[in-house]
């Protein structure tokens, strides 16, 4: 007799959301999580603590540099890092204990310990307790990719986890990898006073982003004091009393160069996490990148075992994991859950934020799609001027023949919130004209989305 209808392995935004949805649908559910708190990477050491520090550090930077133009004089601004860190920890606890509450509310059995399959239908927790279920969802997430020759000690050579908990501002922070984590955590410590150098292997930062938008982000971060060393790799790191000495080499080969740092953040990507899960005993197959292979119903090759979130293919984003959690629970319940992978937004929470949904210009060109572009700068948006925050633009890409919106890329204040209307538009297969004809409140930043949509047909009003 199975103990549960469903056992979810991993209590992150994929796993905990799947567990709640399954309980709503009438299943008896357990969630096995090895961490002491629920919420996974995202709530404990990812999205939430990083956004708490981004918010606090932005207040610090604004108090120093952005208030005088508003006629607000602030003298003697100083940093209280312990208070900033304590607030961040409290935000994390509020969120993780919120998931505990939701589990109690939905009568989900929370099992603490490391899960490992003993066979296709049985799970061992910490090698002892054997749990049986009709179905299992693997939602074990991801972990940082290590860099050869640069071993993380979480003191001076950090992963994102260490970079969220430093007890002093490093004088010089070297970030290896110019992606999401490097630019967000580089922003935090840069605002708090660190000199930040980003070493990026490729010849551009954020390689998957629309190139024009990525170049705009590069320029604005440079203005904020970031130094970028593109086309460069770190060959080795020597940890000494005076900090870390890195040996840098051109990515395409050439002479090495030394760079000294007080702290180094290694943020060169994340990889699926299946260590110790006993997948070989269950017979679950992985691809050549270590991801659990699933079909479009999240089913692995073993009947009754499903997988979602960072441990399967696709963008490693919390909201993608959660959407998959909902869809997978619905499929197990015999419903028709699905995820629209063409309309998953992505946001980098720098200042300005960068947000996108759908295709980039490069992807459309590569696919041979004929498209038109509408662009609107925030310098021409009344609210952005009133806010004294006019950096950036909205760019709408629409099919040249049908006018259907194929992608939207925004760099600007609150881009992460603004992208939501573009996601809705794409979900409803809107045309650029549809967005252009929708009444947007004035004065709002979102008017720039409407104007960019109008600009796709040369009909923007304010440029
Ligand atoms: P996870 O959240 O990684 O959860 C998996 C859980 O499974 C973990 O708690 C782990 O302990 C547990 N587990 C693993 N193996 C076992 C086992 N054998 N037994 C029991 N439990 C196990 N994404 C965004 O969308 N927005 C952001 O702003 C954002 N910021 C981020 C900032 C940082 C610094 C990092 C590192 C990531 C960020 N992400 C962000 C990515 C986001 O955290 C992940 O995409 C998301 O957490 C994936 O959810 P998941 O449920 O698949 O896995
Ligand atoms: P990333 O994939 O975003 O960026 C890694 C960068 O490192 C790339 O630019 C890559 O070219 C570069 N790189 C790879 N190997 C390198 C090397 N040897 N030397 C120098 N550069 C190298 O990975 P990151 O920043 O570690 O984040 C992991 C994932 O976590 C993200 O892809 C994203 O899915 C998620 N995340 C999401 C956030 C958000 O939604 N705001 C915030 C933080 C993380």
Tens digits of residue pLDDT in 406-446 = 999 999 999 999 999 999 999 999 999 999 999 999 999 99
Q: What pLDDT does residue 241 have? A: 86
Q: Which of the following CATH numbers is that of domain 343-455: 3.30.499.10, 3.40.462.10, 3.30.1490.20, 3.30.390.30?
A: 3.30.390.30
Give me the CATH topology for the region 157-268.
FAD/NAD(P)-binding domain (3.50.50)
Other CB atoms within 10 A of residue 131 CB: 20
Tens digits of residue pLDDT in 248-257 = 999 999 999 9
pLDDT band at 136 (very low <50, low <70, confident <90, very high): very high
pLDDT at 367 over 90: yes
> Nearest-CA neighbor of 432 among 337, 382, 358, 352?
358
Tens digits of residue pLDDT in 317-354 = 999 999 999 999 999 999 999 999 999 999 999 999 99
Q: What pLDDT does residue 329 have? A: 99
Q: Mean pLDDT in the chain?
A: 97
Tell the residue number behind the tokens 């799609």, with chain if given: 369
Question: Separation of 178 CA from ligand 2 center, angstroms?
Answer: 7
Q: What pLDDT does residue 332 have? A: 98
Q: Is 4-143+271-339 a CATH 3.30.1380.10 domain?
A: no
pLDDT band at 129 (very low <50, low <70, confident <90, very high): confident
Q: Which ligand is nearest to the CA of 328?
A: 1
**For the chain, what are the domain ranges?**
4-143+271-339, 157-268, 343-455
Q: Which ligand is nearest to the CA of 140?
A: 1
Q: What pLDDT does residue 417 have? A: 98
Tell the residue number behind the tokens 């050579």, with chain if given: 157
Tell the residue number behind the tokens 């509310």, with chain if given: 105
User: How large is the average pLDDT for residues 213-235?
Assistant: 98
Measured distance CA(307)–CA(399) in Å, rounded:
34
Cβ of residue 268 lying under 6 Å from some atom of ligand 2: yes
* Backbone φ, ψ for residue 152 (5° rounding): -75, 130
Pick the atom of ligand 1 nearest to 270's CA.
36
pLDDT at 101 over 90: yes
Cβ of residue 182 lying under 6 Å from some atom of ligand 2: yes
Q: What pLDDT does residue 2 have? A: 85
> How far, in Å, are 226, 230, 246, 323, 423 from residue 355 at the CA level?
20, 23, 33, 18, 11
Q: What pLDDT does residue 407 have? A: 98
DSSP string, 160-191: HHHHTS-SS--SEEEEE--SHHHHHHHHHHHH
Name the closest-CA residue to atom 12, ligand 2: 177
| Ligand 1 pocket residues where CB is under 6 Å | 9-15, 32-35, 40-42, 46-47, 50, 114-115, 139-142, 160, 181, 273, 276-277, 309-310, 316-319, 321, 349
Q: What percent of the chain has pLDDT over 70?
A: 100
Q: What pLDDT does residue 96 have? A: 98
Cβ of residue 416 lying under 6 Å from some atom of ligand 2: no
Tens digits of residue pLDDT in 45-80 = 999 999 999 999 999 999 999 999 999 999 999 999
pLDDT at 450 over 90: yes
pLDDT at 198 over 90: yes
> Residue 213, CB half-sphere, CA atoms under 13 Å: how many?
32
Other CB atoms within 10 A of residue 284 CB: 22
Measured distance CA(218)–CA(206) in Å, rounded:
9
For the annotated catalytic residues, the residue numbers are: 442
Asked whether the domain spanning 343-455 has the same topology as the one spanning 157-268, the reply is no
Question: Separation of 354 CA from ligand 1 center, angstroms?
Answer: 21
Tens digits of residue pLDDT in 262-309 = 999 999 999 999 999 999 999 999 999 999 999 999 999 999 999 999
DSSP string, 300-352: -SSTTEEE-GGGSSS---HHHHHHHHHHHHHHHTTS-----GGG--EEE-SSS
Q: What percent of the chain has pLDDT over 90?
A: 98
Pick the atom of ligand 2 nearest to 348's CA.
41
pLDDT at 453 over 90: yes
> How far, in Å, are 84, 196, 313, 366, 407 from residue 429 at the CA level?
43, 42, 25, 22, 11
Name the closest-CA residue to atom 40, ligand 1: 47
Model pTM greater than 0.95?
Answer: yes
Q: What pLDDT does residue 363 have? A: 98
Name the closest-CA residue to atom 35, ligand 2: 316
């Amino acid at each position: 007799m199975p103990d549960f209808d469903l056992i979810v392995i991993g209590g992150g935004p994929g796993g905990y959301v799947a567990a709640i949805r399954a309980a709503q649908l009438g299943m008896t559910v357990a969630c096995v999580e090895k961490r002491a708190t629920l919420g996974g990477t995202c709530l404990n050491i990812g999205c939430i603590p990083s956004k708490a520090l981004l918010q606090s550090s932005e207040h610090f930077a604004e108090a120093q540099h952005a208030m005088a133009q508003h006629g607000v004089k602030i003298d003697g601004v100083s940093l209280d890092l312990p208070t900033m860190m304590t607030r961040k920890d409290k935000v994390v606890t509020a969120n993780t204990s919120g998931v505990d509450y939701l589990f109690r509310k939905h009568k989900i059995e929370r099992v603490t310990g490391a899960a490992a399959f003993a066979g296709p239908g049985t799970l061992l927790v910490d090698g002892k307790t054997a749990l049986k279920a009709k179905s299992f969802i693997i939602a074990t997430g991801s972990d940082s990719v290590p860099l050869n020759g640069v071993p993380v000690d979480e003191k001076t050579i950090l992963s994102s986890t260490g970079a969220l908990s430093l007890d002093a501002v490093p004088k010089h922070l070297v970030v290896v990898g110019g992606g999401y984590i490097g630019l967000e955590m580089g922003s935090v410590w840069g605002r708090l006073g660190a000199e930040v150098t980003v070493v990026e292997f490729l010849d551009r930062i954020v390689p998957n982003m629309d190139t024009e938008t990525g170049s705009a982000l590069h320029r604005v971060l440079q203005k904020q004091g970031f130094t970028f060393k593109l086309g460069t790799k770190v060959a080795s790191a020597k940890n000494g009393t005076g900090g870390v000495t890195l040996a840098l080499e051109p990515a395409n080969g050439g002479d090495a160069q030394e760079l000294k740092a007080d702290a180094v953040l290694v943020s060169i990507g994340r990889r699926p996490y299946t260590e110790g899960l006993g997948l070989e005993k269950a017979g679950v197959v992985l691809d050549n990148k270590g991801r659990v292979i699933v079909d479009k119903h999240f089913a692995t090759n073993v009947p009754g075992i499903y997988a979602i979130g960072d441990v399967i293919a696709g963008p490693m984003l919390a909201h993608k994991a959660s959407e998959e959690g909902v869809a997978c629970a619905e499929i197990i319940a015999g419903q028709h859950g699905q995820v629209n992978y063409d309309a998953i937004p992505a946001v980098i929470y720098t200042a300005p934020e960068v947000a996108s949904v759908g295709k980039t210009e490069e992807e459309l060109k590569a696919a041979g799609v004929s498209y038109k572009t509408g662009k609107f700068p925030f310098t021409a948006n009344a609210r952005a001027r009133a806010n004294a925050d006019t950096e950036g633009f909205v760019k709408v890409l629409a099919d040249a023949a049908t006018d259907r919106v194929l992608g939207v890329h925004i760099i600007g204040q609150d881009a992460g919130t603004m992208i939501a209307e573009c996601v809705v538009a794409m979900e409803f297969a809107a045309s650029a004209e549809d967005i252009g004809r929708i009444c947007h409140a004035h004065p709002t930043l979102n008017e720039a989305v409407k104007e960019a949509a109008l600009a796709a047909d040369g009909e923007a009003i304010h440029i």
